[in-house]
A and B are shown apart, each in its own frame.
Chain A
């Protein structure tokens, strides 16, 4: 599974960081950084929640 962020849509609400802090980080510069582009299968449910709850629908998963 690969995490893809559309940075044209992302507005750094940081909800993804709260849900999956090992995968997403919004830093003090207010930009989102992907910490783990290929999370393990055990993280799928959590990352899917981040996809679902991103207010800008900027995150997607590619298998």
Chain B
């Protein structure tokens, strides 16, 4: 189904690639790209790494060059927020003004959860946007000495890693028994914990935050186990929530994201992509919402094409998800979808040396591959996962390694 004009709400990774794909595939009509940040589309992964360390300037963060962006001939509206949608009436509300749409891509992403009682307290940060990262970077540059990271997920782990690299004292607090425990399980979570401690992080697991102390500015944190720590910088990385409030009453199904069909279609002429989209990936049971970089790229592409296709032409979006995380001098990669109580087997290298590949399996199925400084093996494994290899086949393949 060819659209006369397409509006893309969300000017980050998924939104940008949706726009790029429409042009690449020959769509010649108007494309509006609406983003609530004042910046042209930029890349988020460096925000907790090189950008935070001050090793990457704003220009290098851009997703594309000014020239290439201009070549796309977009109606680019930065610093604008979509505030409402009426699917049946085919109208969108942008900063309160109603405008019609024909095709719509929803790519509004997620925002950070915050710790209760810390709003407006100086020295307390979350990290999602370029401005968030710049604020933490500046706090580190201004001489913050004692950083506490709450949550040992990607953001927490990478911020801790960058801060340690700058000589800052870092305490990391994780409510679960192990970092990434909910994703990787106890055994591999313990390996992640060992990596943090090896690099000098004071990692405290199985403990929550009771109270953030300070008048106007954070001075300390009291943990649930009674310990009180002096803190002059607090970074909270306790997950994200999808930005769907503006879609309430729109006619779309909202349930921890915008619920789509297997082709990324949320309603006729409306698709969703990236962190905000929840869809039935035919490779897995139930609905899936993925908060990873590669998914945003691929789903942005897939959703854009879906807009221009008839129902008959449409294909399911069926990726094997993967992510990477750079922590200290280690590259962590995970391909697939492990369950925390899957069987885990180290198939190459050694966890003690922090250089290994491990497979996850369940009921004879190969479910995921985890690597630490093992990119070749992880990516070969991703191919096996895509091909639907069994647990035995995967182990046989890996027996050729090392």
Quick check: A52 and B376 within 8 Å, CB to CB? Answer: no
Name A's interface SS.
loop
Other-chain residue from A26, A27, A52 in contact with B17 (beta carbon distance below 8 A):
A52
CA distance in complex: A31, B311 (Å): 43
Quick check: A11 and B331 within 8 Å, CB to CB? Answer: yes
Contact of B213 with A by CB under 8 A: no
Contact of B375 with A by CB under 8 A: yes
Contact of B211 with A by CB under 8 A: no
Quick check: B324 and A13 within 8 Å, CB to CB? Answer: yes
Quick check: A26 and B379 within 8 Å, CB to CB? Answer: yes
Contact of B373 with A by CB under 8 A: yes
Quick check: A12 and B294 within 8 Å, CB to CB? Answer: no
B375: A residues at CB distance < 8 A: 12-14, 26, 30
Which B residue's beta carbon lies closest to that of A28? B376
Quick check: B324 and A52 within 8 Å, CB to CB? Answer: no
A11 CB, nearest partner CB in chain B, Å: 7
Contact of B302 with A by CB under 8 A: no
Best-surrounded residue of A14, A17, A52 (most CB of chain B within 10 A): A14
Which B residue's beta carbon lies closest to that of A18? B379
CA distance in complex: A55, B296 (Å): 11
B382: A residues at CB distance < 8 A: 18
Which B residue's beta carbon lies closest to that of A52? B297
Contact of B216 with A by CB under 8 A: no
Interface residues of A in 1-32 (CB under 8 A from B): 11-15, 17-18, 26-28, 30
Quick check: B326 and A17 within 8 Å, CB to CB? Answer: no
Other-chain residue from B43, B301, B324, B376 in contact with A27 (beta carbon distance below 8 A):
B376
Quick one: CB contact mask for B364-402 with A, threshold 8 Å, 1 for yes? Answer: 000000000101101110110000000000000000000
Contact of A53 with B by CB under 8 A: yes
Interface residues of B in 69-119 (CB under 8 A from A): none
A17 CB, nearest partner CB in chain B, Å: 6
Quick check: B379 and A30 within 8 Å, CB to CB? Answer: no
Which A residue's beta carbon lies closest to that of B381? A18
CA distance in complex: A30, B371 (Å): 12
Known A18-B382, A18-B383, A55-B45; judge A11-B297 contact (CB<8 A).
no
Other-chain residue from B17, B294, B301, B376 in contact with A14 (beta carbon distance below 8 A):
B376
B379: A residues at CB distance < 8 A: 13-15, 17-18, 26
Contact of B309 with A by CB under 8 A: no
CA distance in complex: A57, B326 (Å): 16
B27: A residues at CB distance < 8 A: none
A30 CB, nearest partner CB in chain B, Å: 6
CA distance in complex: A14, B326 (Å): 14
Best-surrounded residue of B45, B333, B379 (most CB of chain A within 10 A): B379
Give the top 3 A-B pairs by smallest Cβ distance, nearest first. A14-B375, A14-B379, A18-B379
Q: Give 17 A-B pairs besides A12-B331, A30-B376, A55-B45 with Cβ atoms closer than 8 angstroms.
A: A13-B324, A13-B333, A13-B379, A14-B378, A14-B379, A15-B379, A18-B380, A18-B382, A26-B375, A28-B376, A30-B373, A30-B375, A52-B17, A52-B297, A52-B301, A55-B294, A57-B43
Chain A residues close to B by CB (< 8 Å): 11-15, 17-18, 26-28, 30, 52-53, 55, 57
The 15 listed contacts between A and B (C-beta, < 8 Å) are A12-B331, A13-B333, A14-B378, A14-B379, A15-B379, A18-B380, A26-B375, A26-B376, A27-B376, A30-B373, A30-B375, A30-B376, A52-B17, A52-B297, A53-B297
